[in-house]
Structure 1
Amino acid sequence: MRRLWIGLCALPLLAAEAEAAPPVKSVETPDRFDAVPWWMQRAVLPQTGYAETEVEANRATFAARFKGTGKTASEAQNEAVAQAETLISALRQRQPEVVRVTTDFAVQAFHEQHRDKDGRQIANVRGDKIKGYDATLTLRVEVRDMAVLEPVYALVLASAPTQVDRVAFSLKPDNALRERLRNEATRDAAVRAQGAAHASGSALGGIRLIDPSGRACRADLLGRRPDANADIAIRGQRVEYKGPPQMVSGPPPPPSPLYQLEARAAENAFIQTPPLYRARAETCVVYDLK
């Protein structure tokens, strides 16, 4: 009987503790896509505007290689440098904002070779059987003004390199082009939003947000923007090249190697037509709905 009385007395205490204990919430992983942006707290109309144009390539890159051979690595390197020295001097006379030149070297040893009793040629790879060295000077040229691309390319070919790569064109949009496309995309968004509001029987209000990245108009608000692929339309115009200035009358001085190189380049102009690249931009504009 005594044990039963003690147990009955303890029941109110347990009930009081149960009422005083705070409720335990289940730990859930918050979904980062459930957060509602501030601009969606009332009825809005997110609208994406698009702008597209075709712009001529404004970058051209190519490489030329000069090879030299010598008994030592230094001799091979000096021979390669001697072949490209005049060309490097001619290119560096141009403004660095127009033409940029970088160089690098690669040196490789070649070994003595012999034939075995069956007549098969065998190449040695031992360090004490080195016969000489081959050095390759790679001259990389980046042209940032398409008006000088053809004379620069002709100048490189006139220096008689061992190998010249094909010209690779690219487009690097400047700030003026970006600003123009953003403005056109914003105007396009306004036209589209006005049409959507009219079709739905609503009235378009003021602008709550302008997002040049376009993310605000996507379902995945925190997702990454996909990379834009540039479509190329092969088209361009012939760039006129003006040769070197004429020498004044009188006994001409002996022509310098640099002048001879430029004269050979002027005789053999090469057509390099920059292609057109398609540049796109999109802007998200969020409007209030009345």
Structure 2
Amino acid sequence: MRRVWIGLCTLPLLAAGAEAAPPVKPVETTDRFDAAPWWMERAVLPQTGYAETEVEANRATFAARFKGTGKTASEAQRQAVAQAETLISALRQRPAEAVRVRTDFAVQAFYEQYRDKDGRQIANVRGDKIQGYDATLTLRVEVRDMAVLEPIYALVLAAAPPQVDRVAFALQPDNALRDRLRNEATRDAAARAQGAVKATGSTLGGIRLIDPSGRACRADILGRRPDANADLALTGQRVEYKGPPQMVSGPSSPPPPLYQLEARAAENAFIQTPPLYRVQVQTCVVYDLK
């Protein structure tokens, strides 16, 4: 075999009948680029429009806990239920679209205790040393009408549960809000596109694509790091509410009648101010360029 010099490279020349070397397998590389989308077959202008507003929270949740103690688990449960039954009856009289209530139980045994030779107090863990049971009835309240939040919260406090959680607010955007912001974002995209073509001396053509999710304008055709995107984004709440301290009261007194519970709630209303949430929407509109 002899070699022929071509520029700076040497290529081996194989004699007749010599076996050819196997082809070299190309090195595989990770492709970081997306394929060009269909709407980029000709000159286009992808433009993102933005819309933003502040909306008051429309959901409020909190929990109240009632505790009972008895020699048996069923006795402890009955005691916990007896403390909350008037309140549960009052809450169930409210419309389901305004207030929703659910309950759950937790029961735990407690054992006889003794002291060891060093005087340390130790609790038994044997089944035959169970002294009694503690039952906790958790009442979870979801308020969907902010107009009734304050009286509902006051009603729960009037029942004097041993523990009441602070109110947690949230926003569930409805379809009307989504549609309004999408329309505003589309109009904003049109205004931005008109400004872009005016600044560059181009002419805006027809619309090729409207993407309410905004992802079309983030096509990763240049190998950029893709950004997280959502159809509708909620930022942190603008107003922080701090609830009252936890109530601590013994379960010894019987629950008040319903009319007393309602009267006590009316005298002891707590102000609950729903916070504001910032809602943001992006819409992608792809225009032809002339």
Tell me, yes or no, whether TM beats 0.5.
Answer: yes
* Alignment-derived partner of residue 66 in structure 2: 66
The 5 A counterparts of 1:1-290 are 31=31, 33-220=33-220, 225-226=228-229, 228-234=233-239, 257-290=257-290
Say if 2:214 and 2:229, in contact at 8 Å, map to a contact too: no
SS at match of 1:231: strand
Q: How far does residue 235 in structure 1 lie from its aligned partner after superposition? A: 8.0
Say if 1:215 and 1:223, in contact at 8 Å, map to a contact too: no
| CA-to-aligned-CA distance 1:58-103 (integer Å, 9 cap, x gap) | 0000000000000000000010011111111111111111101011
**Aligned equivalents of 1:86 and 1:157: distance in 2?**
13
**Aligned equivalents of 1:117 and 1:140: distance in 2?**
46
**Aligned equivalents of 1:225 and 1:211: distance in 2?**
16
Structure holding more strand per residue: 2
Say if 1:235 and 1:275, in contact at 8 Å, map to a contact too: yes
SS at match of 2:62: strand
TM-score, length of structure 2 as denominator length: 0.81
**Aligned equivalents of 2:86 and 2:186: distance in 1?**
51
| CA-to-aligned-CA distance 1:218-251 (integer Å, 9 cap, x gap) | 1427957445451322189xxxxxxxxxxxxxxx
Larger displacement relative to structure 2 (212-221 or 89-98): 212-221
**Aligned equivalents of 1:200 and 1:234: distance in 2?**
43
Letter in 1 for 2:237: I
Letter in 1 for 2:92: R
Q: How far does residue 161 in structure 1 lie from its aligned partner after superposition? A: 0.4
Structure 1 vs Structure 2: percent identity of aligned residues? 82
| CA-to-aligned-CA distance 1:168-223 (integer Å, 9 cap, x gap) | 00101000000000000000000101001111110111111000111111142795
Instruction: Give the number of equivalent residue pairs.
Output: 253
**Aligned equivalents of 2:125 and 2:168: distance in 1?**
37
SS at match of 2:87: helix
Say if 2:207 and 2:285, in contact at 8 Å, map to a contact too: yes
Q: How far does residue 32 in structure 1 lie from its aligned partner after superposition? A: 7.9
**Aligned equivalents of 2:47 and 2:193: distance in 1?**
6
TM-score, length of structure 1 as denominator length: 0.81
Letter in 1 for 2:83: Q
Structure of higher CA gyration radius: 1
**Aligned equivalents of 1:179 and 1:235: distance in 2?**
28
* Alignment-derived partner of residue 9 in structure 2: none
Letter in 2 for 1:212: P
* Alignment-derived partner of residue 6 in structure 1: none
SS at match of 1:153: helix
Q: Is there any run of 5+ residues in structure 1 with no aligned partner, and where?
A: 1-10, 237-255
Say if 2:189 and 2:285, in contact at 8 Å, map to a contact too: yes
Letter in 2 for 1:271: I
**Aligned equivalents of 1:214 and 1:225: distance in 2?**
11
